[in-house]
Amino acid sequence: MIRLIASNAILVALVVTALGAILTPVAILRGRRDWLSFSFAAVYTNFALVTVSTLALVWGLVSHDFSISYVAQVGSRATPTFYTIISLWGALEGSIVFWAWVLGMYAAAVVWFNRKREGNLVPYAAMALLLVALFFHILLLGPANPFQAVFPVPFDGPGPNPLLQNHILMGVHPPLLYLGYVGMTVPFAFAVGAMLSGEVASDDWIRLTRRWTLVAWGFLTAAIIAGMWWSYEVLGWGGYWAWDPVENASFIPWLTCTAYLHSVMVQERRGMLKLWNLNLMVGTFVLTILGTFLTRSGIISSVHAFTQGTIGYYFLGFIAVVLLSTLILVAGNSDKLGSEGKLDAPLSRETAFLLQNMFFTVFMFTVLIGTLFPLVAELVRGVKVSVGTPFFNKMSIPLMVALLFLMGVGPVLPWRKGAGPELKGKLTAGVVLGLLFGVVGLVMGARNAYAVLSFTFAGFALGANVGEFVRGANARVRAHGESWLVALSRLVAGNRRRFGGYVAHIGVVLVALGVTASGTFKKEQEATLTPGQSMTVSGHTVRFKNAWLREEKQRQVVGATMEIMDGTRVSATVEPRMNYYPTSQQPVPTPQVKSTWSGDIYLNLMAFKQDGSNVTVKVIWEPLVPWIWFGGFVICFGAILGILPTRREAAVASAPAGGTP
């Protein structure tokens, strides 16, 4: 019953999206604008239908309805309800259902918030969204159908992949990722709408798109950081980034989107880089689809085993259509996108943005080429190669260091005119902090030139960005006689977008410090201990107390109770574990992390004697790693500041709301 409701909902949604998408150009070309309300209705109806089908699948999972193929594949009566619900995105078919739902939600929101806007931009954007949704419905009825009938109905299922039911972040990282990844469809749809409606040369649609892009970017950033956190907490190797194709797939569009968020300011201020920005915007979407194709089709070998039969060919067809149609549209419209302004001074903010864009684009191509290279090498030379961490680190670390430097320079440079004498004062705080951070890095033992530069430029960027807040608030205190805190909050409220950006910069500095410190000063040691024995890593002593076994509903747990020592006193107790799931032959490591402000003590149980007489543990000292996660929160806070409407916009929005019928 549930199965029939869910799969029929998708079938109807397929018809509705197809009709709505066809209706849009017909209505516009025949001048029947009243028909457009039907294609808007198709967007809402689609959302309602995919919601029904998503809820039905969740209900099927929760009620253990093993007559549904997806439930029989990932469900189990022993799995806790929380992990049962989130197994919605634990395997291919369910994740496509979730994708269709997020896309339906974005499409409905775009149409709802812009339904009163005149012109053909929004209808064409809605058409683009409907067409993308149509593709996902085709997947759901074809190669990724989660609603197939299973007969005879099994009594129980295997449960989700053990790795995916071992940590709470599995409920956080994937939804964030989909909200970010799928959200990139919205700016793309606006770009298509602008090109088809002929409004592409105006800046109006750029302003309309800005907030949507920032929403998707914020989610994608949060998702990438949460993914790093998840892999750090779950996989037991003590790292958070491995340049795996799946990680790269999320990072590549993030790079182009971040470049866009900066370069679009040059377009708004100076009327330059229009074609470039359009390329970044549609490129970001194409790269999300490309990333999905690379990781779901099995074309590239990755530790994230998501490979499935024929779905690759569907994605290939979709990429071909998207790539060809957008390239034709963008190239065909390129005549209209000439620059209105030009670079006036070499040392201006425009230059900083330009350089930033250049580095981000090079970065994007580096990661993209590194990811695709195995494929090219096999085609050209017939050899199998794998591109690993050394390549990516060697290429990306200099770029990251340069970007840290630009992040400090950009905010203090003025628009248009060359830098004047006031620049010196603006740079002082950054230079002082930068030198301080660099020296501290050296004293702590950093000898790698890039590590020292990274500490230095992180300090420099921190000083420069914090300095913008301090100087602005001081100016208000002098001008209006406000108290310093009032001045600061009014300063930020008056230009949330600009200061939101600076907050995000500060978050990036925290992430950079965490990454550099953990990459430079990480220490790890493995030892076999008997009860009462202890080991010391980087000045942190842990003592093995005892090993134990526990039976849980869905698994067996072997754990070691480890005491973290502060002198002779026990300051904390942690229990690294190995979880044995019946469906998996190998135990799932469950490391435990004891965080302090200066770093993490990371404990992973590697092996144990069955009688509990000894255990082998790996202890890693991970300096400043918690700063990465905290920095992620700060970046998201900055994005939220940038998304919230400013007071002026709120006033404008509420005034003429009923103006146009």
Partner 1 sequence: MNWRRASIAAAAAAPIIGLFAWGLTRDPNNIPSPLPGRAAPSFALAVFSPGQGGLMRPAGDTVRLADLKGKVVVLNFWASWCLACRDEHAALSQVAATYEGQPVQFLGVLYNDVPDKGRAWIAEMGGQSYPSVDDPGARVAIDYGLYGVPETFFLDGNGRVAFKNTGPVTPGMVRLKVDSLMAVAALQASAAQPAPAPRAPAKDRAGGPEKTGGAK
When asked if residue 15 is in the footprint of partner 1 (CB under 8 A), the reply is: no
Of 310 and 530, the one with the shorter C-beta distance to partner 1 is 310
Q: Which of 158, 175, 271, 298 binds partner 1 (CB under 8 A)?
A: 298
When asked if residue 303 is in the footprint of partner 1 (CB under 8 A), the reply is: no
Least distance (Å) from partner 1 to the CB of residue 436? 47
Radius of gyration of the chain (CA): 27
Of 568 and 586, the one with the shorter C-beta distance to partner 1 is 586
Least distance (Å) from partner 1 to the CB of residue 249? 14
Token pair 């709120």 is found at 650
When asked if residue 141 is in the footprint of partner 1 (CB under 8 A), the reply is: no
Q: Which of 80, 171, 332, 338 binds partner 1 (CB under 8 A)?
A: 332
Least distance (Å) from partner 1 to the CB of residue 526? 14
Q: Kind of pairing, strands 556-566 and 569-574?
A: antiparallel
**Residues 106, 108, 113, 119, CA torsion sign:** positive
Least distance (Å) from partner 1 to the CB of residue 385? 10
Of 175 and 298, the one with the shorter C-beta distance to partner 1 is 298
CB contact burial 479-492 (16+ within 10 A = b; e otherwise): eeebeeeebbeebb
For the chain, what's the residue count? 661
Of 114 and 297, the one with the shorter C-beta distance to partner 1 is 297
Of 222 and 330, the one with the shorter C-beta distance to partner 1 is 330
> Stretches 22-30, 315-323, 517-525, 653-661: which one binds partner 1 (CB under 8 A)?
315-323
Q: Determine the Cα–Cα distance for residues 426 and 467; give it in Å rounded to an integer.
A: 7
When asked if residue 299 is in the footprint of partner 1 (CB under 8 A), the reply is: yes
Q: Which of 328, 432, 444, 651 binds partner 1 (CB under 8 A)?
A: 328
Q: Which two tokens stand for residue 39?
A: 């294609």
Q: Which helix (H) or strand (E) holds 380?
A: helix 349-381
Of 149 and 376, the one with the shorter C-beta distance to partner 1 is 376
When asked if residue 586 is in the footprint of partner 1 (CB under 8 A), the reply is: yes
- Within a 10 A sphere around the Cβ of 380, how many other Cβ atoms? 8
Of 220 and 330, the one with the shorter C-beta distance to partner 1 is 330
> Stretches 4-12, 232-240, 299-307, 545-553: which one binds partner 1 (CB under 8 A)?
299-307
Of 12 and 377, the one with the shorter C-beta distance to partner 1 is 377
Q: Which two tokens stand for residue 56?
A: 């039905």
When asked if residue 301 is in the footprint of partner 1 (CB under 8 A), the reply is: yes
Strand residue runs (E) in 408-539: 523-529, 534-537
β-pair partners for 613: none
Of 191 and 261, the one with the shorter C-beta distance to partner 1 is 191
When asked if residue 330 is in the footprint of partner 1 (CB under 8 A), the reply is: yes
Pure H helices in 382-415? 389-409
Of 157 and 632, the one with the shorter C-beta distance to partner 1 is 157
Beta-carbon-side half-sphere exposure of residue 138 (alpha carbons within 13 Å): 15
Distances (CA, A) of 422 to 345, 468, 559: 16, 13, 61
Angle at 186 between CA 650 and CA 495, to 5 degrees: 30
Least distance (Å) from partner 1 to the CB of residue 329? 8
Least distance (Å) from partner 1 to the CB of residue 588? 14
When asked if residue 418 is in the footprint of partner 1 (CB under 8 A), the reply is: no
Footprint of partner 1 on 371-400 (CB under 8 A): 372, 374-376, 378-379, 384
Residue-by-residue DSSP string for 25-39: HHHHHTT-GGGHHHH
Distances (CA, A) of 334 to 9, 206, 318, 354: 41, 16, 24, 20
Q: Which of 300, 487, 537, 601 binds partner 1 (CB under 8 A)?
A: 300
Task: Give 602-606's long-range contacts (Cβ < 8 A, gap of 24+).
Answer: 602/238, 603/542, 603/562, 603/574, 603/576, 604/236, 604/238, 604/576, 605/558, 605/559, 605/560, 605/576, 605/577, 605/578, 606/526
Beta-carbon-side half-sphere exposure of residue 270 (alpha carbons within 13 Å): 22
When asked if residue 610 is in the footprint of partner 1 (CB under 8 A), the reply is: no
Q: Determine the Cα–Cα distance for residues 516 and 316; give it in Å rounded to an integer.
A: 38
Q: Determine the Cα–Cα distance for residues 566 and 514; give it in Å rounded to an integer.
A: 24
Q: Determine the Cα–Cα distance for residues 563 and 542; give it in Å rounded to an integer.
A: 5
Least distance (Å) from partner 1 to the CB of residue 512? 33
Q: Which of 26, 153, 327, 444 binds partner 1 (CB under 8 A)?
A: 327
Q: Order of strands, edge to edge, in the sheet holding 615-623?
A: 523-529, 615-623, 599-608, 592-596
What 3-state class would DSSP assign to 118? coil
> Stretches 25-33, 95-103, 319-327, 354-362: which one binds partner 1 (CB under 8 A)?
319-327
When asked if residue 283 is in the footprint of partner 1 (CB under 8 A), the reply is: no
Of 379 and 657, the one with the shorter C-beta distance to partner 1 is 379
> Stretches 27-35, 323-331, 391-399, 501-509: which one binds partner 1 (CB under 8 A)?
323-331
Q: Determine the Cα–Cα distance for residues 75 and 590; give it in Å rounded to an integer.
A: 22
Of 321 and 475, the one with the shorter C-beta distance to partner 1 is 321
List residues binding partner 1 (CB under 8 A).
293, 297-301, 312-313, 316, 319-320, 323-324, 327-335, 372, 374-376, 378-379, 384, 585-586
